Structure formats: structure tokens, C-alpha cells
Chains A and B, each alone.
Chain A
Amino acid sequence: MKTIKELRGMLDKKEVSSVELTKEYLDRADSLNGEVNAYITISRDEALDEAERADKKIAEGGALPLTGIPLAVKDNICIEGVRTTCASKMLENFKPIYNATAIEKLNEQGAVYLGKTNMDEFAMGGSSQTSYFGGPKNPYDTERVPGGSSGGSAAAVAADMCAAALGSDTGGSIRQPSSFCGVTGLKPTYGTVSRYGLIAFASSLDQIGPIANSAEDCGIILNAIAGRDRHDQTSRDTGVSDYTSLIGESVKGKKIAMPKEFFGEGIDDEVKESVFAAAKFFEENGAELVEVSIPTLKYAVSSYYLLACAEASSNLARYDGVKYGYRTEDAESFDELIKRSRYEGFGREVKRRILLGTYALSSGYYDAYYKKAMAVRQQFIKEHKSIFEKCDVMLTPTAPTVAYKCDENIDDPVKMYLADICTVTSNMVGIPTVSTPCGYDKNGMPIGVSISANHFEDAKVIQFADCFEKQFSKQAARI
């Protein structure tokens, strides 16, 4: 298991070529994918072509931080000509006709794409088990889920089936699987990475981000993909040129907010202990722990699901069997064509969320649901603003539990939704949050700690996570 930084050194010193490296990862991905199911598509030929080009670039002395580094990409990020399914029957054979901006930017660096990773259908879920292609498994225990929705990306990193991966995070979809799979995942500040080419779930919450073996690697990838994009009006120029620049700076004297609502009922004791231990580590290194309160947290899950599903109901209305994707046979009318295509093409969880979102926006319910949820969102922003006026970062568990068994929870949507309590506020507020491993439970399953900071302080969360990682001894996945 090597970090991007280590691989970069090996490539630059010609200890290994990108083609050799890519082959190694591809072989491992091929041999493990039957068990882990991390990839929906492995694109061996394209990857080797890209690696060859990267080797040329390295030989010419033009190597950039990600030149020749074999990455995996979540299957909701468009790569031109490469099947992009969103883990849905609806897009089973869909090949995008353009590249996502994040992909364009990685192309400029000469990164290598090993394939497209498994996920919850349309990124809707926390287990990745809603995938039309069968759920991916947790490399620490293949009877357990890898988390979701970027479960395939996290599992691929944890099982060393890629050097790092891109995921997307709407309500925890990068951080929670990173926590479940014992790897590091960063949800950047909303607007830092262009969403152009990320197949939308909830536009005001979605953000592309890295999943990797270290916080520093996350920073290296973020350096490559961040920036204002003319194709995405909500993307921003953050003014940060290097997200790893704070690495190594002391945390002495820094204030760490510990919101008490995140350590109450519903959080497993072992998770609490590990997260407290991480807090203690920072305290021992001179940081100050400050107890704070986010009283609105009790509305987090409902307001998040109302907003996310409202947007999703509209974003997913375009899948009708007319322009691309699944189209039912023998429909007699336009109405029948789209109703049947949509019923047959979407899985059950996607349909539930479309129905919920439609409900929240429909006449007579808008004020009671959508508008109330918007008001709660504004309240969250206020509460977080006041926390970050006093504190540098905020420390919370990433998930209430460790990875659960594949047959648990899945059929109980309410229980599934409630499990998102620790992650959704970061998206509602739009702040950066990183999750990094901080312990293992009695079964050896990883536990993650989340570090958040104010808007556009992504470098700071990377600094704190890196500081913790440097002293933490990781246990490799058993696979």
C-alpha cells in the first residue's frame, strides 16, 4: 500500500514505470474484483495507453504530481466514451459524449484511469448495496458493506486496487465509506471542484472529492481538480494554490470544537472512544478542546433528505428513455413511454427518493417541507459560522457505527437515513470535511474521525488530518 507521494518518487526515479505500476494495479483489481466488486468497469486497454503516454511525459521531464498515477473514478463522473452507469439499469450502456471538468484537469496532469467504481444507484444510499450491478464489499470483512455511496472507490483504495480514487459527496458519500473502509476521504468546500460532468443527485449539495491513503494525497488530488470552471457557475476561485501547504504546521494553540450533539445517543461506544482518543491526541499536542452546540442537529436528517430529494426529483426527471439510457419496449404513448421507462429503469431507493422529493415540492406541501428545510439549512449556516468564529476546526465521528453486515439495515430506509446524521450538515453548510481512520473496533473494523473547518479552509482540515495520520498506525485490510 503506497501513497501517491511515494509512487511519485518511484516514478520520477525510474524505479518503476507507469505502465508497470498500472499493470500491477490492474492485475490486483482483476483478481480481487470478483470478491470486492469495487469496479463496475475496468478499462485495461485505455489505462495502459494512458500509462504509456504518462511514461513518455515523465521521460521528457514533464511530470506533474499525478502523471502516471493509477486512479479509480466513481461511476457517476463522466469520462468521454467510457461507460458511465451511475450503477443504474437506466444508464447501463451509457457512454458520455464529454469529459467532466475534474477529468479534464486530471488529463492535463496525465493521470491514469483504471476504471469506474461501484456505488449506490445515482449515489443514493450509504451502503452501495443499491447498485444495479450488485453491491461492493468491505475489504476488511467482505460480509460487510463498504459504506456509500462512494463504496466502490473507498473499497478500491482500501484493497489497493488503485492508488487513489475520485468520489462524490452529497450527504457523506465520500467520508462515510472512507470511514467504513479505513481510508482518508475529503469532501471539499462546495464550489471548490467543478460539478460539470458529475451526474447530479442534489446540485446544491454535490461535490467531487478524493479518497486516498493519506490526507496529503487528498490534498495532491484536490490541487489538480480544484478551480473555477466556466461550465459550472457555482464553482469558485478559492485563492488557494496548494492545499498541502499547511502540512507540518503545529496544531499548538488551535481550538477544536466538539459539538456535544455528535456524541450523544445513537453513536456506538467504541466509535465515541476512538474519536475522543483522537481529540485527546490533539489536546496533547497543544490544541484546546472546546465544547460547542449545534442545537439544530435534530432536524439535520429530515431537512437534508427533503432538500436532497427535492432537487433529485427534478435532476432525475431527464431520464425518460428519449435521449439516452433505458427505454421500455412498445409504449403506445409518450406518457406510457416515460412512465414505464422510469419505473423499469430506476431501482427502488431511487424511486422512493423521487417520490419523496416530488412530495416535498408539490402544491400544498412546499411550505411545510421544502421551505422549512431551506430555513433549517440557513440556521445551520448561522450556527456553524458562530462555531468557526471561535474555533479553528470541528471534530466529530464520521458515522455512528462501523461498517455493518450486508443484510442489515438495507430494507429499512428510515434506519438508513438516520445513519447519515453525522455527515449531512457539512453539505448543508458547504464546508470542507475530511474523514481519516482513528481506530478499529473489537472486530477489527475501521472507525473514522471527521475534521471540518470554515468555508475554503480545506488546507486546514488536511493539515489536521495529516498531523493525526503521522502518529496513527493503520491496520491494512485483510483481503
Chain B
Amino acid sequence: MSEIFDTVIGLEVHAELLTNSKVFCTCSAEFGGDPNTHICPACTGQPGALPVINHRAVEFAVKAGLAFDCEINRYSRFDRKNYFYPDLPKAYQISQLDLPLCINGKVELSTGTVVRLNRIHLEEDAGKLTHDDYNGESLADYNRCSVPLIEIVTEPDIKSAEEAAEFVAKLGQYLKYLGVCDAKMQEGSIRADVNISLKRKGDEKLGERAEIKNLNSMKAITRAIKFEEERQAEIILSGGTVEQETRRFDDNQGRTKPMRNKENANDYRYFPEPDILAVTFTDEDIEKIRATIPALPKERKEKYINEYKISENDAEVLTSEKYISDFFDDTVAIYPEYKNVANLFLTEIMRRVKETESEEIPFSPEDFAEVVKMADKNTVNRNDAKDIIRTMFEEGGKPMEIAKAKNYLVVEDNAAIADFVEAMLDEKAELLEQYFAGKQNIFGFFMGQATKGLQGKATPRSIKEYLETAIEKRKNK
């Protein structure tokens, strides 16, 4: 970012897992709900209640680990992290310290930077507080308490705000591909803590770092990092030292500030969670989980570029989300004209799914393949093909039905039209004269006759086109 300093960034990304039930109790893990309507004795810390681990939460954490090339600890233990806060009813968070599920992974960025993952561990989320300034009160809703989270911790390998944003985006993309997280930052399903320090170029020694907590949008991540880079550079250049501290990012003011409430002296007194047994894995367990991992963006993109000869940019877009790439793959499996499928997909489908954000394409790959094929074979012309796609989006229906209803079908037997129309005009020469004399409705009669006579062989549209041309020709004779 500057001539003088290198930026050194490590991230701790929290991602909520898409399980049905919470990680340590059987309450629904669904987002939202009226306050305190997804609660039970365990997640509200009732005396005597106990946590019980959710199989799928562990499976999802391991799945994420495998996707990022982590090693899986065959004996993984849970630990208690003790601190007091009104969103934490047990006054400890069940997390993992020494023996997390996954260790030593990596993520490659487009800049060539390889970000090493220190670990991925499983833990429980805290509740939600809303603050009432007027009454000087905070209100606690425990619906989120004990929703499963994975925490992905990187080594300090990230060098810029842009890289940090790409890393988080890529994590979100992969987790969504895996089906373990919906990656909706606006709902808090992905949050990042940023550790950032500056280092004079050429120096080995890292400066003191600041930790910026709980950034919940891409924009906040980049803005917070850029602000910190400047803040820390100013301090160092004016001869000061950066304080090691926890800060938060104020979205309105666009600046980071020290957290005020540091009532908890930072001693979490971790110790092995005695209510929960450590989880052990066999090789078979791990391989079973690995088998559930779908082809990931990197692999798909390479295939699109190398085998399908699709441009890198287009391949990037087509693999941005799993449901898009899956739809594309299913389409080319039926109709393997890769580039033609890609072109119509990118212009007609991508635009619309981006607009609706619904993540749903309301028709099947079979239907889409048929439309592309119709356009390729000139069964309909290309503009009409686009309109068929629009109709399928907006009103539904099958491609051929729409094409027929809208008279888009291009008739192949042009000779039949010519034969019939010419014969009819020869036979009805009198009527044609009357038409030339000004009896406009006679055109309608010709259309009716020809449509009837050519039923199944031509569309009214092409008949009309031919009829108009033929009449025009005879008039000029």
C-alpha cells in the first residue's frame, strides 16, 4: 500500500453452518424468529442442562477443512472459553483450542498469494443484544445461542485490503459450494476479525497489531483495513508505537475505534469441556465426508477453459456460484455446444438471476438446452430465442409451446409456401384485381385460405411474409 510499509494481515473468519438444529442442542438453527423462540434448557444455560454434539455440524466443519486441504485431527476435543457477557448465557463458549477438527490448510488467491490456514474449528454462536439508550438497557435474545459456527484462522499471509476481500469472498464461495454455509453477510452468516500490522519494507520484525472485530460486509473489511493502514502508518511515521488492542469499525464514520468495554481481562481460562466427549474419526469416516464434496470452482473453471474453450472471464462468471455452474453443466450434458450455451446463458440467464437474487432458475436445463438448439438450428431466430427465455422466466411454459404461441417457428418448407401461394393467386386472379383496386379485406381472405391449406407446414408469420412479397411482385408486373 505504500512505499515504506508492507501490510501484514491475518483473518479469523466465522461462518455459520447450515444445519437444521443447533450444534449443542436440538433447537432450530434457522435465522430469525421472534426473540427467544428457538431456545431450550441447554442453549440458555439452565442449571443441570447439558450440551450434545450435532453430527452434521462436525461433518460440515470437516468437509470445509477437506475442501481447503486441511489435515483432520483424528481425535478432536472441545474446550470451554470462559468470559462473562449478556449474550452468553452459560458464561462460557464451547469452542476448540488444542485439538481443533482441522489444521494446516491453504487458499490460493488470484494474486498468486497462498494464504495458509492455521486451523478450522467448530464452536457455538452467542445470542443477540439490542440496546435501548432511552432506558439504559440491553435486551438479550438467545435464538442464535449455540448455532454452529466454524472459525477459519489464517496465518498472517494476506498483504492488502483487496486480498483480504478476495479471501473472504472465496471462502464464502467455497462454503456455499459445499452447502455448509449460505454465505449471506447481511444476515451475519459470515463475519471476519482482522489482525493487521505494518512492517517497514525490508524489516523482519512485525509491528504491534490491532485486531478489528466483527466486520460483516466486504466493504467494511476493505474500508477498515485501509483506514488502519493509514492510522498505523501515521503513528509510526510520527515516531509513536501502535498499541496492541482490539478495535471496532464504525460504518457511519468509516473509522476504527478502540473497544470501550474491556471489562473482561483477556484471560479466557480455556480447559477441556467435561460435558462433551472428544470426537474420533476413522479413515473411512474421513473418506465418506470427502466423497460428499462436489467439484469446486477451480476444477470447474479449468475444465471450462481447457475443454470447453470458454474464455477465462466467462468461465469465472459461470463458476461463481454452484447452482449456476451446475445448471450450465447439466445443459451442456444434454446439448454439448459449449460456447453457444455459454453465450445465451451469460446474456440471458445471468442478468436475470443477478437481478432477482433468487438463486433459482425457474426452468430446467432440458428446456434451456432446447432453446439454444432451436436458435442454433434456426428453428426460431436468435432474437426470438431470447424472447422465449424471457417468457420462461416471467410466465413459465415450455420452449416449443411458447414458440408456437408466439409464432416464432421458422418454417423450413419454403417451397410449399411458394407453390401454394402462387397457385392460389393464379386461381383467384379476379380477387387479386379487386384487392389492387382497394378492397383491403381480401388480403385477409388470402391469408385464411393459405393458412388453412398450409396447416402444419408453415407459420402464419412466414405465410404472411411470402404473401405480401408475392402480391407486391404481381402488382409491379
Contacts and interface: CB of A to CB of B under 8 A. Distances in A.
Interface stretch (B82-90, B243-251, B352-360): B82-90
Nearest to B42: A231
A198 interface: yes
Contacts of A338: 84
B52 A358 contact: no
A173 to B, nearest CB: 16
B50 interface: yes
A366 B90 CA distance: 21
Given A314-B80, A317-B84, A322-B86, A233 B51 contact: yes
B245 to A, nearest CB: 18
Contacts, number: 102
A195 B276 CA distance: 12
B377 to A, nearest CB: 60
Contacts of A324: 46-47
Interface string A304-318: 000000110110011
Contacts of B140: 322
A100 B46 CA distance: 12
B378 interface: no
A363 B264 CA distance: 13
B49 A196 contact: yes
Contacts of A363: 267, 269
B267 A362 contact: yes
Contacts of A78: 47-48
Contacts of B274: 202-204, 234, 311
A319 to B, nearest CB: 8
A97 interface: yes
Contacts of B46: 96-98, 323-324
A311 B48 CA distance: 14
B48 A197 contact: yes
A366 B454 CA distance: 93
A426 B80 CA distance: 25
Interface string A190-224: 00000111111011100000000000000000000
A102 to B, nearest CB: 11
Contacts of A86: 47
A317 B47 contact: no
Contacts of A361: 82, 269-271
Contact of A323 (B44, B138, B276): B44
Interface in A123-174: none
Given A78-B48, A200-B48, A317-B84, A323 B89 contact: yes
Contacts of A84: 47
A233 B89 contact: no
A77 B46 CA distance: 12
Interface in B35-59: 41-42, 44-53
Interface in B236-272: 263, 267, 269-271
A294 B92 CA distance: 36
B277 interface: yes
A204 B80 CA distance: 13
B271 A310 contact: yes
A320 interface: yes
Contact of B276 (A196, A230, A233): A233
Contacts of B89: 318, 322-323
B401 interface: no
A370 interface: yes
Interface string A349-374: 00000000010011100100010000
B91 interface: yes
Contact of B92 (A310, A314, A334, A362): A314
A389 interface: no
A232 B50 contact: yes
A334 to B, nearest CB: 6
Contacts of A200: 47-48, 275
A227 to B, nearest CB: 15
B84 A320 contact: yes
Q: Which 9 A-B pairs have the closest CB atoms?
A: A317-B91, A361-B269, A204-B274, A203-B274, A199-B47, A318-B45, A197-B48, A199-B48, A363-B267
5 contacts: A100-B48, A231-B42, A231-B52, A314-B269, A324-B46
Interface of B: 41-42, 44-53, 80, 82, 84, 86, 89-92, 138, 140, 263, 267, 269-271, 274-277
Given A233-B51, A233-B53, 15 more contacts: A94-B47, A196-B48, A200-B47, A200-B275, A203-B274, A231-B42, A231-B52, A234-B277, A317-B92, A318-B47, A318-B89, A323-B45, A323-B46, A361-B82, A362-B267
